[in-house]
Structure 1
Amino acid sequence: MTTPTLSKIAAACAVLMVLGSCANTIRGAGKDTANAVNATQDAGHKVKKAAQ
């Protein structure tokens, strides 16, 4: 293989790794947001029960 071919393969691998890590970050942020919403709803229900 020539140097330009190896460079292209290395660049493609780097792009795939970056995109893969972005997808994991987005999934993690989505889970964190969902957990925050659930916690807020639970707190609201507790306050509602306490007020009754």
Structure 2
Amino acid sequence: MQRWSRHIVLGCISIFALTLMSAALTGCNTVEGVGKDVKAAGGALEDAADGDD
């Protein structure tokens, strides 16, 4: 019985770790996209301030 419960615990930990890693990778892609958007908006603001249309 103890061996069976150990496998369940290890399986749950593995699933949790995979879920956490997937969320982290998704978050990295999202932050990268936001960074590109902010950079583009900053460039547009600079162009507007300089009078370059």
Instruction: Tell me the TM-score normalised to structure 1 length.
Output: 0.76
Q: Which amino acid aligns with 1:13?
A: L
Equivalences, count: 47
Q: How big is the shift at 1:25?
A: 1.2
CA shift for structure 1 position 11: 0.4
Q: Which consecutive residues of structure 2, in runs of 5 or more, have no partner in the other structure? A: none
Q: Which residue of 2 aligns with 1:36?
A: 41
The residue number in structure 2 matching 1:20 is 25
Match of residue 6 from structure 1: 11
TM (normalized to structure 2)?
Answer: 0.75
- Structure number with greater CO (CA < 8 Å, separation at least 6) is 2
RMSD value over aligned CA atoms?
Answer: 1.7
Unaligned ranges ≥5, structure 1 = 48-52
